Amino acid sequence: MTFVLCLVEKVLDGLFQRPIKCNKTQNTMTTHSGQSAQNATSQDNSPVVADEATPLEAIYKYIDDLDVGFDFNVLSVLDNDEATPAMIEALKDKLGSTVAARLFCIANSVHFGKNRSGKITKFMAVVNHLGTRMTKSTAIFIALHSQASTEEMTVVLARCFAASKLSEMLAHKLGLSDSDRITVTLGALFIEIGKLMMLLYSATSDVQLGEDFIERHYPEVNAKIVEKFRLPEELLAIVSRPPFRFVKKDSLALSAVVELAHGVVTNSFSRHGKLVIQSSVPDQEGILYTSTAGSWLAEQFQTIGLGSYLQVIPNELTDTEKALLEKYGQQSK
Protein backbone atom coordinates (compact mmCIF):
# COMPACT_ATOMS: atom_id res chain seq x y z
CA MET A 1 0.00 0.00 0.00
CA THR A 2 2.92 2.33 0.71
CA PHE A 3 4.16 1.85 -2.86
CA VAL A 4 0.70 2.73 -4.20
CA LEU A 5 0.50 5.88 -2.07
CA CYS A 6 3.94 6.96 -3.26
CA LEU A 7 2.89 6.41 -6.88
CA VAL A 8 -0.24 8.53 -6.67
CA GLU A 9 1.52 11.24 -4.69
CA LYS A 10 4.07 11.53 -7.49
CA VAL A 11 1.22 12.00 -9.98
CA LEU A 12 -0.46 14.57 -7.75
CA ASP A 13 2.89 16.30 -7.28
CA GLY A 14 2.42 17.72 -10.77
CA LEU A 15 -0.84 19.27 -9.58
CA PHE A 16 0.20 20.61 -6.20
CA GLN A 17 3.95 21.17 -6.76
CA ARG A 18 5.05 19.84 -3.40
CA PRO A 19 7.94 17.66 -2.23
CA ILE A 20 7.10 14.01 -1.60
CA LYS A 21 8.31 12.03 1.38
CA CYS A 22 7.34 8.35 1.52
CA ASN A 23 7.33 6.66 4.90
CA LYS A 24 8.24 3.04 4.29
CA THR A 25 7.73 2.01 7.87
CA GLN A 26 4.31 3.48 8.56
CA ASN A 27 1.86 0.72 9.39
CA THR A 28 -0.99 2.46 11.20
CA MET A 29 -4.27 0.59 11.44
CA THR A 30 -7.37 2.72 11.00
CA THR A 31 -11.03 2.32 11.73
CA HIS A 32 -13.80 2.86 9.17
CA SER A 33 -14.11 6.43 10.42
CA GLY A 34 -10.47 7.12 9.59
CA GLN A 35 -9.25 7.30 13.20
CA SER A 36 -6.24 5.42 14.55
CA ALA A 37 -7.21 1.94 15.70
CA GLN A 38 -5.31 2.42 18.94
CA ASN A 39 -7.74 5.25 19.77
CA ALA A 40 -10.86 3.20 19.04
CA THR A 41 -12.45 2.18 22.30
CA SER A 42 -15.46 0.08 23.21
CA GLN A 43 -18.25 1.08 25.55
CA ASP A 44 -19.25 -1.23 28.40
CA ASN A 45 -22.90 -0.27 28.01
CA SER A 46 -23.00 -0.45 24.20
CA PRO A 47 -25.87 -2.26 22.43
CA VAL A 48 -25.55 -5.81 21.21
CA VAL A 49 -22.76 -6.08 18.62
CA ALA A 50 -23.72 -7.70 15.34
CA ASP A 51 -21.72 -10.79 14.34
CA GLU A 52 -21.31 -12.53 11.00
CA ALA A 53 -24.77 -14.06 11.41
CA THR A 54 -26.41 -10.63 11.29
CA PRO A 55 -28.40 -10.60 8.05
CA LEU A 56 -27.56 -7.84 5.63
CA GLU A 57 -31.19 -8.03 4.60
CA ALA A 58 -32.08 -5.84 7.60
CA ILE A 59 -29.71 -3.16 6.33
CA TYR A 60 -30.99 -3.55 2.79
CA LYS A 61 -34.57 -3.14 4.00
CA TYR A 62 -33.53 0.03 5.81
CA ILE A 63 -32.07 1.32 2.54
CA ASP A 64 -35.21 0.37 0.59
CA ASP A 65 -37.36 2.30 3.07
CA LEU A 66 -35.00 5.29 3.36
CA ASP A 67 -36.56 8.70 2.77
CA VAL A 68 -33.96 11.02 1.22
CA GLY A 69 -36.22 14.07 1.22
CA PHE A 70 -37.62 13.62 -2.27
CA ASP A 71 -38.93 10.82 -4.45
CA PHE A 72 -35.78 9.74 -6.26
CA ASN A 73 -37.94 8.34 -9.05
CA VAL A 74 -38.36 11.91 -10.31
CA LEU A 75 -34.75 11.67 -11.48
CA SER A 76 -35.86 9.19 -14.15
CA VAL A 77 -36.70 12.18 -16.34
CA LEU A 78 -32.94 12.58 -16.83
CA ASP A 79 -32.83 9.13 -18.46
CA ASN A 80 -35.75 9.94 -20.76
CA ASP A 81 -34.53 10.90 -24.23
CA GLU A 82 -37.96 12.38 -24.95
CA ALA A 83 -38.03 14.64 -21.88
CA THR A 84 -38.86 18.23 -22.75
CA PRO A 85 -37.00 21.26 -21.35
CA ALA A 86 -40.11 22.05 -19.29
CA MET A 87 -40.05 18.58 -17.70
CA ILE A 88 -36.40 18.93 -16.75
CA GLU A 89 -36.89 22.47 -15.45
CA ALA A 90 -39.74 21.21 -13.24
CA LEU A 91 -37.28 18.79 -11.63
CA LYS A 92 -35.75 21.68 -9.67
CA ASP A 93 -38.79 22.04 -7.41
CA LYS A 94 -39.25 18.27 -7.05
CA LEU A 95 -35.71 17.84 -5.69
CA GLY A 96 -36.24 20.33 -2.88
CA SER A 97 -34.48 23.61 -2.15
CA THR A 98 -31.31 22.16 -0.57
CA VAL A 99 -30.46 19.71 -3.35
CA ALA A 100 -31.37 22.17 -6.10
CA ALA A 101 -29.34 24.99 -4.54
CA ARG A 102 -26.25 22.79 -4.18
CA LEU A 103 -26.53 21.65 -7.80
CA PHE A 104 -26.71 25.27 -8.98
CA CYS A 105 -23.63 26.11 -6.91
CA ILE A 106 -21.71 23.15 -8.34
CA ALA A 107 -22.71 24.01 -11.90
CA ASN A 108 -21.57 27.61 -11.37
CA SER A 109 -18.22 26.61 -9.86
CA VAL A 110 -14.96 26.16 -11.72
CA HIS A 111 -14.50 22.71 -13.26
CA PHE A 112 -11.01 21.31 -13.13
CA GLY A 113 -9.13 21.88 -16.38
CA LYS A 114 -11.87 24.14 -17.78
CA ASN A 115 -12.74 27.81 -17.65
CA ARG A 116 -15.65 29.04 -15.57
CA SER A 117 -18.87 29.20 -17.54
CA GLY A 118 -21.30 32.10 -17.46
CA LYS A 119 -23.79 32.42 -14.63
CA ILE A 120 -26.29 29.55 -14.72
CA THR A 121 -29.84 30.42 -13.66
CA LYS A 122 -31.96 27.69 -15.28
CA PHE A 123 -32.02 24.08 -14.10
CA MET A 124 -31.97 22.92 -17.70
CA ALA A 125 -28.60 24.68 -18.01
CA VAL A 126 -27.40 22.90 -14.84
CA VAL A 127 -28.15 19.52 -16.43
CA ASN A 128 -26.58 20.52 -19.75
CA HIS A 129 -23.46 21.75 -17.97
CA LEU A 130 -22.99 18.81 -15.57
CA GLY A 131 -24.44 16.08 -17.75
CA THR A 132 -27.26 13.73 -16.78
CA ARG A 133 -25.05 11.14 -15.02
CA MET A 134 -23.32 13.76 -12.91
CA THR A 135 -26.54 15.62 -12.09
CA LYS A 136 -28.41 12.48 -11.03
CA SER A 137 -25.60 10.99 -8.95
CA THR A 138 -24.66 14.28 -7.29
CA ALA A 139 -28.29 14.92 -6.34
CA ILE A 140 -28.38 11.54 -4.57
CA PHE A 141 -25.09 12.27 -2.78
CA ILE A 142 -26.34 15.68 -1.58
CA ALA A 143 -29.56 14.08 -0.32
CA LEU A 144 -27.60 11.39 1.56
CA HIS A 145 -25.34 14.11 2.98
CA SER A 146 -28.41 15.66 4.58
CA GLN A 147 -29.06 12.35 6.39
CA ALA A 148 -25.73 12.46 8.28
CA SER A 149 -26.48 13.10 11.95
CA THR A 150 -23.08 12.49 13.54
CA GLU A 151 -19.49 13.56 12.99
CA GLU A 152 -18.56 9.99 12.08
CA MET A 153 -21.14 9.95 9.30
CA THR A 154 -20.01 13.31 7.97
CA VAL A 155 -16.38 12.16 7.93
CA VAL A 156 -17.37 9.18 5.75
CA LEU A 157 -19.02 11.57 3.29
CA ALA A 158 -16.04 13.92 3.39
CA ARG A 159 -13.69 11.06 2.51
CA CYS A 160 -15.96 10.06 -0.38
CA PHE A 161 -16.05 13.61 -1.68
CA ALA A 162 -12.29 14.07 -1.31
CA ALA A 163 -11.64 10.81 -3.18
CA SER A 164 -14.02 11.95 -5.90
CA LYS A 165 -12.25 15.27 -6.43
CA LEU A 166 -8.76 13.72 -6.43
CA SER A 167 -9.98 11.02 -8.83
CA GLU A 168 -11.30 13.70 -11.15
CA MET A 169 -7.94 15.48 -11.07
CA LEU A 170 -6.01 12.25 -11.70
CA ALA A 171 -8.32 11.35 -14.58
CA HIS A 172 -7.64 14.74 -16.15
CA LYS A 173 -3.87 14.43 -15.74
CA LEU A 174 -3.93 10.86 -17.10
CA GLY A 175 -5.78 12.06 -20.20
CA LEU A 176 -8.87 9.89 -19.73
CA SER A 177 -11.91 10.51 -21.89
CA ASP A 178 -14.74 12.67 -20.56
CA SER A 179 -16.89 9.57 -20.10
CA ASP A 180 -14.21 7.73 -18.11
CA ARG A 181 -13.46 10.87 -16.09
CA ILE A 182 -17.10 11.08 -15.04
CA THR A 183 -17.13 7.37 -14.18
CA VAL A 184 -14.14 7.59 -11.82
CA THR A 185 -15.45 10.84 -10.31
CA LEU A 186 -18.82 9.28 -9.49
CA GLY A 187 -17.39 5.90 -8.51
CA ALA A 188 -15.19 7.60 -5.92
CA LEU A 189 -18.13 9.68 -4.72
CA PHE A 190 -19.82 6.46 -3.56
CA ILE A 191 -16.68 4.52 -2.62
CA GLU A 192 -17.61 4.37 1.10
CA ILE A 193 -21.31 5.20 0.94
CA GLY A 194 -22.16 1.75 2.29
CA LYS A 195 -20.51 2.72 5.58
CA LEU A 196 -22.87 5.69 5.88
CA MET A 197 -25.89 3.44 5.34
CA MET A 198 -24.65 0.97 7.96
CA LEU A 199 -24.05 3.78 10.46
CA LEU A 200 -27.52 5.19 9.79
CA TYR A 201 -29.05 1.75 10.27
CA SER A 202 -27.14 1.26 13.51
CA ALA A 203 -28.25 4.68 14.80
CA THR A 204 -31.92 3.81 14.27
CA SER A 205 -31.78 0.29 15.70
CA ASP A 206 -30.56 -1.36 18.88
CA VAL A 207 -27.73 -3.10 17.04
CA GLN A 208 -24.20 -1.72 16.98
CA LEU A 209 -22.36 -2.92 13.91
CA GLY A 210 -18.76 -3.83 14.68
CA GLU A 211 -15.81 -2.29 12.86
CA ASP A 212 -14.83 -5.60 11.26
CA PHE A 213 -18.39 -6.28 10.12
CA ILE A 214 -18.61 -2.87 8.44
CA GLU A 215 -15.22 -3.21 6.75
CA ARG A 216 -16.09 -6.66 5.39
CA HIS A 217 -19.52 -5.82 4.08
CA TYR A 218 -19.68 -2.15 3.12
CA PRO A 219 -18.68 -2.81 -0.55
CA GLU A 220 -21.78 -5.00 -0.82
CA VAL A 221 -23.86 -2.18 0.61
CA ASN A 222 -22.18 0.22 -1.84
CA ALA A 223 -23.53 -1.95 -4.65
CA LYS A 224 -26.98 -1.95 -3.06
CA ILE A 225 -27.00 1.86 -3.12
CA VAL A 226 -26.11 1.88 -6.82
CA GLU A 227 -28.97 -0.52 -7.45
CA LYS A 228 -31.47 1.26 -5.18
CA PHE A 229 -30.98 4.70 -6.71
CA ARG A 230 -30.43 3.41 -10.26
CA LEU A 231 -27.02 5.01 -10.51
CA PRO A 232 -24.87 4.29 -13.58
CA GLU A 233 -24.20 0.55 -13.73
CA GLU A 234 -20.52 1.07 -14.53
CA LEU A 235 -20.00 2.35 -10.98
CA LEU A 236 -20.37 -1.22 -9.68
CA ALA A 237 -16.89 -2.10 -10.96
CA ILE A 238 -15.51 0.63 -8.70
CA VAL A 239 -17.65 0.62 -5.53
CA SER A 240 -17.34 -3.16 -5.18
CA ARG A 241 -13.66 -2.48 -4.26
CA PRO A 242 -12.00 -5.03 -6.60
CA PRO A 243 -8.25 -5.77 -6.44
CA PHE A 244 -5.92 -3.11 -7.83
CA ARG A 245 -6.16 -3.88 -11.52
CA PHE A 246 -4.29 -3.21 -14.74
CA VAL A 247 -5.95 -3.59 -18.15
CA LYS A 248 -4.47 -4.32 -21.56
CA LYS A 249 -0.68 -4.17 -21.37
CA ASP A 250 -0.10 -1.79 -18.49
CA SER A 251 -3.01 0.68 -18.31
CA LEU A 252 -4.78 1.40 -15.05
CA ALA A 253 -8.35 0.19 -14.71
CA LEU A 254 -10.79 2.95 -13.74
CA SER A 255 -11.19 1.29 -10.35
CA ALA A 256 -7.41 1.51 -9.88
CA VAL A 257 -7.46 5.27 -10.50
CA VAL A 258 -10.05 5.61 -7.74
CA GLU A 259 -8.05 3.33 -5.42
CA LEU A 260 -5.00 5.60 -5.81
CA ALA A 261 -6.98 8.70 -4.90
CA HIS A 262 -8.83 6.95 -2.08
CA GLY A 263 -5.54 5.70 -0.62
CA VAL A 264 -4.21 9.27 -0.37
CA VAL A 265 -7.47 10.44 1.21
CA THR A 266 -7.55 7.59 3.74
CA ASN A 267 -3.96 8.27 4.76
CA SER A 268 -4.55 12.02 5.16
CA PHE A 269 -7.76 11.58 7.18
CA SER A 270 -6.03 9.03 9.41
CA ARG A 271 -3.23 11.48 10.18
CA HIS A 272 -5.06 14.81 10.14
CA GLY A 273 -8.81 14.15 10.25
CA LYS A 274 -9.13 15.89 6.86
CA LEU A 275 -7.53 16.13 3.44
CA VAL A 276 -4.34 18.18 3.67
CA ILE A 277 -2.64 19.20 0.43
CA GLN A 278 0.04 21.69 -0.54
CA SER A 279 -0.52 23.87 -3.59
CA SER A 280 0.14 27.21 -5.17
CA VAL A 281 -2.71 29.64 -4.53
CA PRO A 282 -4.02 32.54 -6.62
CA ASP A 283 -2.52 35.94 -5.83
CA GLN A 284 -4.90 38.79 -5.09
CA GLU A 285 -4.42 40.54 -8.43
CA GLY A 286 -4.29 37.37 -10.50
CA ILE A 287 -0.83 38.16 -11.85
CA LEU A 288 0.57 34.68 -11.30
CA TYR A 289 -2.53 32.50 -11.01
CA THR A 290 -6.26 33.07 -11.11
CA SER A 291 -6.98 29.44 -10.25
CA THR A 292 -4.86 26.55 -8.99
CA ALA A 293 -5.40 22.94 -7.96
CA GLY A 294 -5.61 24.04 -4.34
CA SER A 295 -8.06 26.89 -4.93
CA TRP A 296 -10.24 24.63 -7.10
CA LEU A 297 -10.39 22.00 -4.38
CA ALA A 298 -11.20 24.65 -1.76
CA GLU A 299 -14.09 25.95 -3.85
CA GLN A 300 -15.45 22.45 -4.41
CA PHE A 301 -15.35 21.56 -0.71
CA GLN A 302 -17.02 24.84 0.25
CA THR A 303 -19.70 24.40 -2.40
CA ILE A 304 -20.75 20.99 -1.08
CA GLY A 305 -20.64 22.16 2.55
CA LEU A 306 -17.53 20.22 3.61
CA GLY A 307 -15.01 23.06 3.73
CA SER A 308 -13.73 22.16 7.19
CA TYR A 309 -12.39 18.84 5.86
CA LEU A 310 -9.81 20.42 3.57
CA GLN A 311 -6.61 22.27 4.39
CA VAL A 312 -4.55 23.89 1.65
CA ILE A 313 -0.96 24.74 2.59
CA PRO A 314 0.33 27.45 0.20
CA ASN A 315 3.52 26.78 -1.70
CA GLU A 316 6.33 29.24 -1.11
CA LEU A 317 6.79 31.66 -4.00
CA THR A 318 9.80 31.10 -6.23
CA ASP A 319 12.22 33.95 -6.93
CA THR A 320 10.72 34.29 -10.41
CA GLU A 321 7.19 34.57 -8.99
CA LYS A 322 8.30 37.15 -6.45
CA ALA A 323 9.95 39.18 -9.21
CA LEU A 324 6.78 39.13 -11.32
CA LEU A 325 4.68 40.31 -8.38
CA GLU A 326 7.13 43.11 -7.65
CA LYS A 327 7.16 44.17 -11.31
CA TYR A 328 3.46 44.06 -12.06
CA GLY A 329 1.79 44.22 -8.64
CA GLN A 330 0.34 47.18 -6.79
CA GLN A 331 3.57 47.58 -4.85
CA SER A 332 5.34 48.65 -8.06
CA LYS A 333 3.00 51.60 -8.58
Find the DSSP H helices in the chain. 2-16, 56-65, 85-95, 97-108, 123-130, 132-145, 151-173, 178-189, 193-203, 211-228, 236-239, 254-272, 293-304, 319-328
Residue type, 287: I
* Phi then psi dihedrals of residue 313, to 5 deg: -95, 120
The answer to whether the beta carbons of residues 4 and 263 sit under 8 Å apart is: yes
CA-atom Rg of the chain in angstroms: 21
pLDDT per residue rounded down to tens, the chain (333 residues): 454 455 555 555 555 554 444 444 444 444 444 444 444 444 444 444 445 545 789 999 999 999 999 998 899 999 898 999 999 999 999 999 999 999 999 998 866 555 555 788 999 999 999 999 999 999 999 999 999 999 999 999 999 999 999 999 999 999 999 999 999 999 999 999 999 999 999 999 878 888 999 999 999 999 999 999 999 999 999 999 999 999 999 999 999 999 999 999 999 999 999 999 999 999 989 999 999 999 999 999 999 999 999 999 999 999 999 999 998 886 544
Residue type, 309: Y
The answer to whether the beta carbons of residues 89 and 102 sit under 8 Å apart is: no
Contacts of 241 (CB under 8 A, 6+ apart): 191, 219, 222, 255
- pLDDT value at position 237? 97
The answer to whether the beta carbons of residues 220 and 192 sit under 8 Å apart is: no
- pLDDT value at position 21? 43
